[in-house]
Amino acid sequence: MAINTIQINIDHSWAEKFDAKDLKTAVRFTSEGLKLSGQAAQVTLPAPLNQLHNVTFECAKAAWLEEGFSCQSGTLQFSQAELGQQRVQFSIDANTEDEHYDLQLQNLKLDGGTINLVVNLAEQHWNADIDAQNISLSALQKWLPQFLDKHYLDAINDWQPQGQVSVQARLDGNTLGIVSGIAKWQFTDLGFSNATASQVAENIAMQGEVSLDNSDDTWDFVVSSSLTAGQAYSDPVFVDLSVSPITLSVQGKFETQKNHWTLADIKLSQSEQFSLEALAEVTDNVPTKVEADVTISTLSSFYPTWVKPFMVGTAAANLQVSGQVSSSLSWSDKQYQLTATLDKVNVTDSQQRYNAENLNGELVWTNKETPLDGHLSWQQAKLYAIDIGAGQLHAQTVKNGFKLVEETSIPVLDGELQINQLSLQQQEDKQITWSFDGLLLPISMESLTEALEWPTMHGKLSGVIPHVRYQSHKLTIDGALQVKVFDGTTVIRDLRLTDPLGVLPQLYANIDMNDLDLALLTKTFDVGKITGRVTGEIYNLRLSNWQPVQFDAKLATSKDNPGKRIISQRAVDNLTQVGGGATGMISRSFLRFFDDFSYKRLGLSCHLRNDVCEMAGIEDADQGYYIVKGGGGLPPWIDVIGYTRRVDWADLLERIKAVQNSSGPIIE
């Protein structure tokens, strides 16, 4: 009688790193050869598999040979906590004599994805081929505690990764570890978000590949990857990868004994945005050398994505830009130099505070002691309403600062700004300070007032600018600016400006006005004719967002100007209106027969605080104050008295505006 089946039942079997309960195995002899099968209630294996339950296996084609064992068309079924229920196909070829083993594993399921594995083991060499398709990242997370400590595990869990990944890889190694490898991967619908939502991605499509070679503890590698779909946000930058894909490639090596990275060829580019080529060296996770070249071919698309988000609250927060920029960085042992080449760059501030057209040149910056030369030119520019003509600057940079290497003149309206000295320095706290000395060559007040949309004035604006300093968002002018206007002299002292291009600029100054010709002044503002000269002051002036919020101002007849002083009917009526008195009194009295009147003195003052103007004249009068006091010449004489001591600043402006729009008194 022939034996065709051998069955072995073992209640409990254990060995090193292996434990089985209720193990049953059977060997059947068939016409096609040996057929193996078995089952176990539970099998305990090393991590990460740990415990397998309800294990069954079958080998339809098995063979025991003198040199080893083989199993073809094998099937393994089991359930496992993370893997769930599995039905896996496998084959084994084991040559114990040559110590050569081949293992194939197919159709391992992982949350909707599949993994196929081919492993070849020899005495001194091994290789493995891995083909994983559509593996869920959330499923992979379940396995991470088996390989990562809590610190890294918490970091990954905080990002809540989603999506699928497919990987094809081949690894070759020996008894010491991996010798070489190549892998390709593809992420679909990749998404993640950290706890604060400052780093977010949705529906990312990413492809890439890597090759590795290990020789004498030195890894040579080539990595490339591309992101071709989806959206990503890394505070404050948002990128739509479907519109502007990103590609990255890195070639380099890693010396494990020295913990030293050499990244010899780095290429990063984004469609219609920029391209970067670089090399770098890193030792003990600290960069020691970086060289990079960046080309921005379309500044109009680069600025909204990569610059504007960082400029919130600054003067560059909302610009219209065009042109091309290329830059280079060289950094080694904490010494660096940065160069930016501008090609036909145009910049316009959306709030119309400034603009510049056709900027060209090479801007340089370094912390080295060896000076570098740079230059900048422009076709035309504008600062607020002030037109600036074509100009150029030649500068030299050294040790985190720069200075002009030659004096230059820049057209401003119909005059010039002569720059004698301009320097800039970055302090140790990274704050920027700069200083400037120059000369403002005469600008006609006609062109200035036209640009500012003010009433037309006559005269010249000029002055020496002895020393302008900018530090901590504050601009200060030492010395004084002198303005020649209305045949007199106006001197601006203690001028300082904070946050000049910011959201709420503040200007402070003290102003002295000497011997202004009233005939020219009243002609300019069309308020009626007044002759004579006045001297005045505006102290403690403060403008907030270019609107006056505080000053102490007064204007009065010059003491040392004894010339003839005449005031017209219209001027009297308008001054009365400003002072809050009754208008039209002259035209309703016998004085209507006189066009002009003599006066001895005139003057008016305003103390502005909290949107209220405290008004006064040259001296007190009954129930008011004298704005004009008659006398000084031949009759007729006339007094103008103001009665309003306190007036809202907005109301006073309306009175002045009404005066300018008035056609004068009607003579009946």
Question: Among residues of the chain, what percentage have pLDDT more than 90?
Answer: 43
Question: Hey, what are 401's tokens?
Answer: 């600062």
What is the model's pLDDT at position 596?
Answer: 82
What is the model's pLDDT at position 586?
Answer: 44
What is the model's pLDDT at position 5?
Answer: 66
**Range ranked top by mean pLDDT from 438-447, 467-476, 573-582, 657-666:** 438-447
Report the C-alpha gap between 572 and 528 in whole angstroms. Answer: 8
pLDDT (average), residues 192-215: 93
Three-class DSSP labels, 209-246: EEEEEEECCEEEEEEEEEEEEEEEEECCEEEECCCCCE
What is the model's pLDDT at position 519?
Answer: 86
Does residue 587 have a pLDDT over 60? no
Between 245 and 454, where is the model more confident? 245
Q: Read off the pLDDT of residues 53-89 as tens digits, 9 standing for 90 and up.
A: 999 989 888 887 777 788 888 999 999 888 889 999 9
Which of 236-250, 316-330, 431-445 has the least mean pLDDT? 431-445
pTM: 0.74
Q: Read off the pLDDT of residues 88-135 as tens digits, 9 standing for 90 and up.
A: 998 988 887 777 889 899 999 988 899 999 999 888 899 999 999 999
Does residue 438 have a pLDDT over 70? yes
Residues with Cβ within 8 Å of 565's Cβ and at least 6 positions away in sequence, in order, are: 530, 531, 532, 557, 598, 599, 600, 602, 632, 633
pLDDT band at 1 (very low <50, low <70, confident <90, very high): very low
pLDDT (average), residues 611-629: 89
Q: Read off the pLDDT of residues 525-544 as tens digits, 9 standing for 90 and up.
A: 777 888 889 999 999 999 99
What is the model's pLDDT at position 667?
Answer: 34
Residues with Cβ within 8 Å of 309's Cβ and at least 6 positions away in sequence, in order, are: 236, 237, 238
What is the model's pLDDT at position 486?
Answer: 82
In this structure, are residues 105 and 123 in contact, taking their beta carbons and an 8 Å threshold?
no
Q: Read off the pLDDT of residues 368-414 as tens digits, 9 standing for 90 and up.
A: 989 999 999 999 999 988 999 999 999 999 998 989 999 999 999 99
Which of 189-198, 239-248, 251-260, 648-657 has the least mean pLDDT? 648-657
Does residue 592 have a pLDDT over 70? no
The one-letter amino acid code at 612 reads V
- Give the E-state strand segments of 523-595 in sequence order: 533-544, 547-557, 566-568
Which of 95-104, 267-276, 311-320 has the least mean pLDDT? 95-104
Does residue 521 have a pLDDT over 70? yes
Looking at every residue in the chain, the average pLDDT score rounds to 86
**Range ranked top by mean pLDDT from 149-158, 333-342, 553-562, 621-630:** 333-342
R_g (Cα) of the chain, nearest Å = 43
Report the C-alpha gap between 596 and 567 in whole angstroms. Answer: 6
In angstroms, the first-to-last Cα distance of the chain is 151
Report the C-alpha gap between 566 and 127 in whole angstroms. Answer: 109
Dihedrals phi, psi of 593, to nearest 5 degrees: -80, -5
pLDDT band at 18 (very low <50, low <70, confident <90, very high): low
What is the model's pLDDT at position 536?
Answer: 94
Residues with Cβ within 8 Å of 458's Cβ and at least 6 positions away in sequence, in order, are: 445, 446, 485, 486, 520, 524
Report the C-alpha gap between 124 and 121 in whole angstroms. Answer: 8
Does residue 2 have a pLDDT over 60? no
pLDDT (average), residues 216-224: 94
Q: Read off the pLDDT of residues 166-186 as tens digits, 9 standing for 90 and up.
A: 999 999 998 888 899 999 999
Question: Among residues of the chain, what percentage have pLDDT more than 70?
Answer: 92
> Nearest-CA neighbor of 543 among 496, 606, 578?
496
What is the model's pLDDT at position 634?
Answer: 64
